Structure 1
Amino acid sequence: MDYQTFQPRPELSPFIKCYWTLESPEEEIPQQQTIVPDGCMEMIFHYGDLYRQYIDGKAVTQPRSCVFGQLTQPLVIEPTGTTGIFSVRFQYEGFIPFATIPIKEMDDKAISLETLFGEDGTELEKNVLESKTATEKINTVEEFLLKKLDAAAIDRVVQSTIDTILTANGQISIGELSKQTNINRRQLERKFSSAVGLSPKQLSKTVRLQATLKLLLNKEYTTLTELAHESEYYDQAHFIKDFKEFTGLTPKEFYGENLKMSSLFYGTN
C-alpha cells in the first residue's frame, strides 16, 4: 500500500486536518478491513475501483465520491479491485460550514456529493477524478471549499469544548465540560452534536481510544493490564468494554485481524 498525507493551505487548516491518498494493486483474495471511529468526517473520491462496505451484514457499494459522516461503530470495508483513493479528512467540527443537511443525519452513512451539493457536487467529482496528481486534486477541492466556506459557522463554544476534550485526552466528564463552558448540560450536548455529529461523551471516548490504538498498533505495551493502565481506564473490564464498542472486537481479537489500513491511519502520527 502507498499511503501519503498532505497539509491544507493555512486558511483551511481550521476545518481540514489533512488530505490523504491510498493506492494498492488488486488483491487475489480481497481482504476486509475494519475502520475504527476517529471522530473525523471524510470527503472521499475513488479514482480506482469502488469499495464495498458492510452494514448489518449486508454489502453496499460506496458512491464514486461521497462524504462519510461520523462513525459511531466500526465500519467493515472491502476493495473490489485496484485501490485509488483521495480523501479530505476534516477536523472534528470541520465539515459544519459546508454541510447542506444536518450533520447528525449523516452518522454512519456515505452521502454522495451530488446529494449534498447538487450540480456543484457532480462537477467537483468530475474535476477531481480527471486531475492527474494529488496536488491538482487538492487545489480543485480547496477552490470548491473556499467558495462554500462560511467562517462564522464554527461555534466558539463547540471549538472550546473540543479543545478541552483533546487537552484532557478524552478523560473528562460532560459535567466538567458543562461547568467549564458555563452552559447547561443538555444545551451543550445539543449544540455539540449538531456541529460534530457526536455527543461530547462519544467524542471523548473516541479520542481516548485513538490514543490506546496507537499504543496497541505500535506494540508499546507488554500486557493488556499495562495498556489499560497506560490509557488510564478504571479497570481492564472497562477498557475491554469500550474497546469492543468501537472496534467490534476485544483487544486480542483486534490485534489478530488484518490491520493494514488501521496501521496506516492510526498506528503512526
Structure 2
Amino acid sequence: MIYREYKPSPQLAVYVECYWSAKAEQPPFNEQESLIPDGTIELMFNFGDHYSQVIDDREKLIKGSHVIGIRKQSLFISQTSKQNFFSIRFKPGGFFPFFKIPVYKFANGFYQISELFNRELNTLEYQLYEAANNRKRVEIIEQFLLNKLSQQPEDFAFVQTCAKRLVTDSSCTVEHLADQFSSNYKTIERKFLDVIGLTPSKLRTVKRFNQAVHAMYSGNYNSLAEIAYASGYYDQSHFIRQFKKLASATPRQFLEQQLTIVKVIQPALAKRLSNSYNFS
C-alpha cells in the first residue's frame, strides 16, 4: 500500500489535520481492521473498490464516497480488493465550520455523501477523480473549503477554547468553564456535541485511550501498569475496563491483532497528542 499525507495551508490548519491518499492493487489490510475512536472525522473520496463495515460478523457494503463519522468506539471494516482513496482528515471540531451539521447526528458509522450533502460534493468528487495528481487534488480541496468558510462560527471558537483547557488541564471541569464563561453545563455539553460530536467527558476518554494506544505501540513501556499510569488511568484494571469499551478488545488482544491501520496512523496520532490534541 502506498500511503501519503499532505499538509493543509495555514488558513485551514486549524480545521484540517491533513489530506491523505492510499492506493493498493492488492488487499492491504488484515481480513478485519479497526478504526479506533480518535476525535477525527474523515471525508473519504473512494476511487477504488467498495469495502464493508463488519457488524456482529456480518458485512455491510460501504459504497462510493462517504463520511466516516465521529467514533465513540471502534468500527470494524473488511477490505479485500483494490484501494484508491483521497481523504480529508478533520481535526476534532474541524468538520463543523464548513458544513454546519451537528456532528453528533452522524456518529459511529459511514454515511454516503448523498445522504448528507447536496450536489456540490458530487461535483467536487468528479473534479478530484479527473485531477492529474494528488497535489492538484489538494489544490482543488483547499479552494473548495476556503470558499465554504465564510466566517468562523462562534460555537467553534468557544468549543475549541474549552476543549483545549479540558485536555491539557486534568483539574479543569465543565463547572469551572461554565463559571468562567457565564454559561451552564447543559449549554456547554450541547455545543460540544454539535461541534465535536462528543461530550466533554467523552472527549477526555477518547484522548486518554489514544494516549494508551500510542504508548502500547511505542515499545517504551515494560508493562500494562506503566502504560495505564502514563496515560492517565487510575490503575491497570481501570485501564483494561475502559480500553475494552472503546476497542472491543483488551489491551493485550488489541496488540496481538497488529492492526495495519493503527500502524499507519501512528505518526499522525503522535503529532496529534503532542499538539494538545490539535486544539489551537
- Give the structure-2-normalised TM-score: 0.88
Gaps of 5+ in 2: 272-280
Contact 1:37–1:73 (Cα < 8 Å) also in 2: yes
Match of 1:41, as an amino acid?
A: I
Match of 1:52, as an amino acid?
A: S
Match of 2:254, as an amino acid?
A: F
Comparing 137-146 with 108-117, greater Cα deviation is found at: 108-117
Aligned runs of 1:2-81 on 2, under 5 Å?
A: 2-27=2-27, 31-81=31-81
Comparing 143-152 with 119-128, greater Cα deviation is found at: 143-152
Q: Secondary structure at the match of 1:34?
A: strand
Q: Secondary structure at the match of 1:10?
A: coil
Q: Secondary structure at the match of 1:187?
A: helix
Contact 1:213–1:266 (Cα < 8 Å) also in 2: no
**Displacement of 1:116 after TM fit?**
2.5
Match of 1:62, as an amino acid?
A: I
User: 1:258 and 1:31, CA in 2 relative to 1: closer, same or farther beyond 3 A?
Assistant: farther
Comparing 46-55 with 203-212, greater Cα deviation is found at: 46-55
**Displacement of 1:224 after TM fit?**
0.6
**Displacement of 1:165 after TM fit?**
2.9
Aligned to 1:161: 162
Alignment partners' CA distance in 2, 1:10 and 1:199: 28
**Displacement of 1:98 after TM fit?**
2.1
Match of 2:221, as an amino acid?
A: Y
Aligned to 2:191: 191
User: 1:26 and 1:196, CA in 2 relative to 1: closer, same or farther beyond 3 A?
Assistant: same
Contact 1:50–1:62 (Cα < 8 Å) also in 2: yes
User: 1:36 and 1:171, CA in 2 relative to 1: closer, same or farther beyond 3 A?
Assistant: farther
Match of 1:218, as an amino acid?
A: S
User: 1:251 and 1:173, CA in 2 relative to 1: closer, same or farther beyond 3 A?
Assistant: farther
Q: Secondary structure at the match of 1:37?
A: coil
Alignment partners' CA distance in 1, 2:29 and 2:65: 25
Aligned to 2:275: none
Aligned to 1:105: 105
Alignment partners' CA distance in 2, 1:172 and 1:39: 20
User: 1:181 and 1:263, CA in 2 relative to 1: closer, same or farther beyond 3 A?
Assistant: farther
Comparing 47-56 with 116-125, greater Cα deviation is found at: 47-56
Match of 1:79, as an amino acid?
A: Q
**Displacement of 1:186 after TM fit?**
1.4
Contact 1:52–1:80 (Cα < 8 Å) also in 2: no
User: 1:171 and 1:67, CA in 2 relative to 1: closer, same or farther beyond 3 A?
Assistant: farther
Aligned runs of 1:220-235 on 2, under 5 Å?
A: 220-235=220-235
Aligned to 1:266: 266
Alignment partners' CA distance in 1, 2:30 and 2:228: 33
Match of 1:194, as an amino acid?
A: D
User: How well do the aligned residues superpose, as a CA RMSD in angstroms?
Assistant: 2.1
Deviations 1:38-68 (A, max 9, x none): 0011101112222211234432222311122
- Give the structure-1-normalised TM-score: 0.91
Match of 1:94, as an amino acid?
A: G
Contact 1:212–1:227 (Cα < 8 Å) also in 2: yes
**Displacement of 1:214 after TM fit?**
0.8
Q: Secondary structure at the match of 1:71?
A: coil
Deviations 1:141-174 (A, max 9, x none): 1121122113232523201012113323x77543
**Displacement of 1:178 after TM fit?**
3.6
User: 1:208 and 1:54, CA in 2 relative to 1: closer, same or farther beyond 3 A?
Assistant: same
Alignment partners' CA distance in 2, 1:124 and 1:59: 29
Number of paired residues?
A: 268
Deviations 1:58-109 (A, max 9, x none): 3222231112210111111111311221110111111112225432111112
User: 1:195 and 1:100, CA in 2 relative to 1: closer, same or farther beyond 3 A?
Assistant: closer
Q: Secondary structure at the match of 1:215?
A: helix
Deviations 1:16-48 (A, max 9, x none): 111111222313996211110000111011122
Alignment partners' CA distance in 2, 1:29 and 1:195: 32
User: 1:177 and 1:137, CA in 2 relative to 1: closer, same or farther beyond 3 A?
Assistant: same
